Amino acid sequence: PAATTEPRPGELAVAGVPLAEIADRFGTPVYVLAEDEVRERCRMYRSVFPDAEVLYAAKAFLCRAMIHWVGEEGLGLDVCSAGELELAVTTGFPADRIVLHGNAKSPQDLATALRLGVGRVVIDSPSEIARLAAAVGPGGHQKVMVRVVPGVSAGGHEKIRTGTEDQKFGLSISDGYAQHAIARILDQPQLELTGLHCHLGSQITSDKPYLAAVRRMVGLMSRLYGQHGLVLPELDLGGGHGIAYRPGEPSLDLTRLARKLRTELHAACTAAGLPVPRLIIEPGRAVVGPAGVALYRVLAVKRGGERVFVAVDGGMSDNPRPALYGVRYAPRLVGRSGSATSARVTVVGRHCEAGDVLAADAELPDDVRPGDLLAVPVAGAYHLSMASGYNLVGRPPVAAVRDGHARLLVRRESLDDIRSRDVGL
Ligand code: LLP
């Protein structure tokens, strides 16, 4: 992950820039993003899925530089708010390569999508059909897809499983809601249904659920062909490709997934007498997660009961993932090699609750002390995009590294930023 190198013992570097130097220059906590790694991951997706349309899921991490990188590498974008959409388009990203998601799109989301000319809107509820059709207006035209619940359970944690019936996203096939919604879309002349969409969940490390989803989706396509003579040119299987957060953890084998998907899709379509639709995929985590490193300064070390607590200057406001999903990370000491003997410690944040844990069972040199720097690898996805304003500590900055140079992409949120939104008394 994040191609860390160790030019001298303990001197961790990313893209040739020592992390200690980044901490000195930008302060801590700080997020470091390896530009080349993001770009390489985009290219890898395009070469592994040469016939598919690859959309980067903006929710994993978004800033203007990221929008440039994924655009230059030939990916499209999956957005789920007017905010993500507007940032992308005002940064120069072509609107027709953007897909708008969301189970509860606001009037502003839909209006922004139509004003900017978004490529497709993914319909997630029956009421959205009439709202969108009215917003498009008679004589207008908008491409849409329908988000379907394939009834497949997958994903690294219950909270991020979206392929089963008992959750808020999509329209069920087994209850007939998806079929009903599709019939209503076909009645709207201004809406053009280009395909079906499903997203099974996130942090999936097996290809089996994807193959099951293909069978379910092609099954539905076949019924739609029978009922309406409908041939859909696109099939969007969402994202969810799992990555390793700690050494030795499994990740999804994308080459294998691509090969198996192709075979399964061809077999299912041939059996159903349907042409093979163009595949769309929406990876977020696997594009940016491994390219990011979070860098913290240790502020306190103490014993408490059986544990040693190592407290740093960030926490659940910049990375809520351990608190939300019980995710484990493997932090590393930066800037010095540290003692040869290691200790199991609990790395905690600075926020005022006991659940503010960053790494539950971290292995660090047993002489870790205040003033040390800790790096948390695989921090590029769903950290800053889920950052909060808890305790008014201010969101950390993002620095990009490339070829031995670092540059600031997003500056630290200052007290002035926070104060400027506080307009009443
Ligand atoms: N497409 C749709 C419609 C999605 O809802 C998502 C993620 C993706 C694509 C991208 O999934 P990815 O490839 O990144 O797994 N906050 C959680 C993850 C939530 C994912 C939400 N949807 C976490 O930190 O693990």
Is 283 a pocket residue for ligand 1 (Cβ < 6 Å)?
Answer: yes
Ligand 1 atom at minimal distance to the Cα of residue 197: 3
Ligand 1 atom at minimal distance to the Cα of residue 162: 5
Is 42 annotated as catalytic? no
Is 282 a pocket residue for ligand 1 (Cβ < 6 Å)?
Answer: yes
CA distance 131 to 137: 10
Q: Distance from the CA of 352 to the center of ligand 1, in angstroms? A: 28
CA distance 102 to 82: 10
Is 241 a pocket residue for ligand 1 (Cβ < 6 Å)?
Answer: yes
pLDDT for 388-412, tens place per residue? 999 999 999 999 999 999 999 999 9
pLDDT for 257-292, tens place per residue? 999 999 999 999 999 999 999 999 999 999 999 999
Q: What's the predicted TM-score (pTM) here? A: 0.97
pLDDT for 34-80, tens place per residue? 999 999 999 999 999 999 999 999 999 999 999 999 999 999 999 99
Residues 397 and 300 in one domain: yes
Which of the listed residues 243, 265, 287 is the one where a domain comes to its end? 287
Judge whether 380 lies within some domain.
yes
Residues 249 and 193 in one domain: yes
Is 236 a pocket residue for ligand 1 (Cβ < 6 Å)?
Answer: no
- 96, two tokens: 């027709």
Residues 263 and 308 in one domain: no
Residues 167 and 62 in one domain: yes
The answer to whether the annotation marks 92 as part of a ligand binding site is no
CA-nearest of 173, 184, 183, 251 to 215 is 173
CA-nearest of 140, 279, 278 to 210 is 279
pLDDT beyond 70 at 148: yes
Residues 143 and 228 in one domain: yes
Q: Distance from the CA of 93 to the center of ligand 1, in angstroms? A: 21
Ligand 1 atom at minimal distance to the Cα of residue 160: 19
Judge whether 166 lies within some domain.
yes
Ligand 1 atom at minimal distance to the Cα of residue 240: 15
DSSP summary character for residue 294: E
Residues 273 and 304 in one domain: no
The CATH number for 359's domain is 2.40.37.10
Which of the listed residues 230, 257, 287 is the one where a domain comes to its end? 287
Residues 91 and 189 in one domain: yes
Asked if residues 14 and 403 have their Cβ atoms less than 8 Å apart, the reply is: no
Given ligand 1 and candidates 101, 162, 282, which is best to mutate, with the most ligand atoms within 8 Å of its CB?
Answer: 282
Judge whether 220 lies within some domain.
yes
Of residues 358 and 337, the one with the higher pLDDT is 358
The CATH number for 223's domain is 3.20.20.10
Mean pLDDT across the chain: 96
What is the model's pLDDT at position 7? 79
The answer to whether the annotation marks 9 as part of a ligand binding site is no
Residues 83 and 24 in one domain: no
Which of the listed residues 264, 287, 310 is the one where a domain comes to its end? 287
Is 99 a pocket residue for ligand 1 (Cβ < 6 Å)?
Answer: no
Is 160 a pocket residue for ligand 1 (Cβ < 6 Å)?
Answer: yes
Judge whether 172 lies within some domain.
yes
DSSP summary character for residue 411: P
Q: How many domains does the chain have?
A: 2
State the ipTM, two decimals: 0.99
Asked if residues 179 and 173 have their Cβ atoms less than 8 Å apart, the reply is: yes
* Contact residues for 309 (Cβ-Cβ < 8 A; gap 6+): 300, 301, 302, 303, 345, 346, 348
Judge whether 379 lies within some domain.
yes
Residues 18 and 46 in one domain: no
**Half-sphere exposure in the Cβ direction for 117 (13 Å, CA):** 7
Q: What is the domain range of residue 72?
A: 35-287
Judge whether 425 lies within some domain.
no
CA distance 26 to 174: 53
Residues 310 and 222 in one domain: no
Asked if residues 163 and 154 have their Cβ atoms less than 8 Å apart, the reply is: yes
Q: Distance from the CA of 200 to the center of ligand 1, in angstroms? A: 9
The answer to whether the annotation marks 240 as part of a ligand binding site is yes
Residues 227 and 345 in one domain: no
What is the model's pLDDT at position 154? 85
Residues 101 and 68 in one domain: yes
